[in-house]
Amino acid sequence: MAKMFKTEKTILVVDDDPMIGDIISKIFKKKFNFSCHVCYNGLEAVKYIESHLPDLILLDVNMPIMNGYEACEKIRQNTRTNLVPIIFITAFDKMDDKVKGFNAGVDDYLVKPFDMRELEVRVVSLLARVEKFIEVSSKDELTGLYNRRYFQDILYHEIKIHMRQNVELSLSMIDIDFFKKVNDTYGHLVGDFILKSFSEKMANFFRKSDILGRFGGEEFILAFPHTNSQLAKWKIEALREEISKEIFVYDEKTKINFTFSAGVSELKKNGETLESLTEAADKSLYLAKNQGRNRVIIAEENKNE
């Protein structure tokens, strides 16, 4: 089967009937290569999504400990999961039940017993719409990188996971040196070309697991999961050297060489926030600019400056 989606999809099946969870998981894995995880009550599902973000949730209503209505409301109250699509799968078929479900925040409603083909169509259709929406709303229009808001949402989640697991995470703020001169000398079309070319270079240079976004203007932000600040600096230094030697050709008459500066910070302790991590990287970037540009500085190396 041809690949239907740009990213791999994960479905969370929440049903106290093990047979239903098993059947759904096997069929979606075989036909669409979706990853599936099964929880057997609403409370288990709510705890699961604290550290996992499914692309879609199939949620039974009548379950022990926490029913589907309560679980749906909890999921919608979580800012990280409030847009994850939810389909109720339930034997409750009265109009009042459906209204209660939609009021709780469900996106679709399927009554048991159901035809598996109908479930497949509903799931695939909903996932396709969500993927398109995320692509449009999460990306910077010019560079194709994550926009600032969406990057911050991702990083907020990454910080929570890394603190819980006590693993390393580093952040870098990157700024193209003297970018205003490029716009003033060659015009904004050439400036846009440089921003796009630099973005493509970074996207191809770093790991797929590294998270790259445009912070604004000629400034970029980059997160390195499972990476300390020294290793992050080494990676950025390698890119910096490569960029400083490259000539970017806009046309026969316009050939540009540029450099960039970067600041790096590392997640060190519990209680550290997205804001404090970003501020530390930004201060280090400011020092790199003041010390002559075309360099990378780590926050921890400059605490007394």
Catalytic residues: 218
> Residue 11: which residues within 8 A CB-CB, separation 6 or more?
24, 25, 28, 34, 35, 36, 37, 54, 55, 56, 57, 58, 123
Q: How many Å is the maximal CA-CA distance in the chain?
A: 71
Whether the upstream peptide bond of residue 113 has omega within 30° of 0, thus cis, is yes
In this structure, are residues 66 and 42 in contact, taking their beta carbons and an 8 Å threshold? Answer: yes
Q: Which residues pair with 88 in a beta bridge?
A: 59, 109
Q: What b/e sequence results for 14-52 when a residue is b if at least 16 CB atoms lie within 10 Å of its CB, and e otherwise?
A: bbbeeebbeebbebbeeebebebbbbbbbbbbbebbeee
Residue 85's alpha-carbon distances to 53, 75, 113, 206, 230, in angstroms, are 11, 10, 21, 31, 39
